[in-house]
Amino acid sequence: MWQVVTNTNQVQKVEDLHWEIQHLKSKIQFLDNEVLFLKRLLESYVFEPNTLKLFKRFEVFKRELTRIDKIRLELINNISKHENNLAGMYDSINSSCDKWSYQKHTTLKGEVDEIINKFRELKSSVFNYAQGILKNRRP
């Protein structure tokens, strides 16, 4: 009887982790859309880069966006690997496997939250900086 309860608990834990992984993947996908938008905005001609200082600032923004996107791609890969490892947990009740998987899961959640926060800071900086230098378009 004890074994059945443990297996049932294990399955529920893995299902909970799987649900959380789907949520992390959704967050990363949304970030992908926002990164693409910001990248296109920075590369567009809606800004009037009339000074070297302005140009340099946008180059810093672009580099930071590229760095964030690289980390995002690494996270997608790591999340996918973790999701594949969860499949093996259905058959295992080994607590060391559980402990490692939970640690990995917690780390991934933290990394996703961190990159999303870094992107929000960058997006806010770009929007605040760009607010005053957008081209005035008159019909």
Find out whether 109 and 24 touch, Cβ atoms under 8 Å: yes
Find out whether 65 and 38 touch, Cβ atoms under 8 Å: yes
What's the pLDDT tens digit per position in 43-90?
876 666 566 677 788 889 999 999 999 999 999 999 999 888 877 766
Higher pLDDT, 99 or 113: 113
User: Environment class of residue 40 by beta-carbon count within 10 Å: exposed (0-12), middle (13-18) or buried (19+)?
Assistant: exposed
Q: pLDDT band for position 134 (50/70/90)?
A: low
Cα distances (angstroms) measured from residue 106 to each of 7, 64, 112: 22, 25, 10
Strand-pairing partners, residue 134, are 47
Residue 135 pLDDT greater than 90, yes or no: no
